[in-house]
Amino acid sequence: MKTVNALLNAPRQEQSAWIREKFPDFGEMAHEPSTCLGIFYPEDRIDLSEYESYPEDYDTIGILRQSLREFTDERETQILNGSPLTNAEALALKHHVADADSDGWVGVHSWEAQAIDGAVFVVALGYSEGQGGIRLDDPWLVESRDEARAWLKKHKIWSRL
């Protein structure tokens, strides 16, 4: 058994080994509703280049008309003529891509683990495996559940809390 300080300062690989030793059924923790803090969609999975390069093929205009009240006919013409997307338009398209990819969302799970001199919190990412359920991976330790929530919130709009 290790101290809170030793665990929190250990390299992530060492933390992961400790977690897997302490929780032999580590992967099953994803099925405990109380462990799920929320979900996010990894923004780096989203490539809007096709939506920009081929707006007619990807229904870019239709998506933007549905998503943005301020979208105008003039803006449609500009996009069809190769104008780059505004930040608001890109964000609307990112939401569309994420919402259409239900298996791409990543769950953030956390639960308490006892060290010699107190508690730490395990944080693990849960990846959808379709009908195979959820695969927990990439575990690490934080000082509090609030710190785990803060990690999730850094994903801003991609978080569903």
If asked whether residues 34 and 62 sit together in one domain, one would say: no
Q: Give the whole-angstrom CA distance, residue 58 versus residue 68.
A: 17
If asked whether residues 80 and 52 sit together in one domain, one would say: yes
If asked whether residues 82 and 116 sit together in one domain, one would say: no
Q: How many CB atoms lie within 10 A of CB 10?
A: 16
Report pLDDT digits (tens) over 67-108: 999 999 999 999 999 999 999 999 999 999 998 888 888 888
Report pLDDT digits (tens) over 59-71: 999 999 999 999 9
The number of domains in the chain is 2
Report pLDDT digits (tens) over 10-31: 999 999 999 999 999 888 888 8
The boundaries of the domain holding residue 36 are: 4-41+103-158
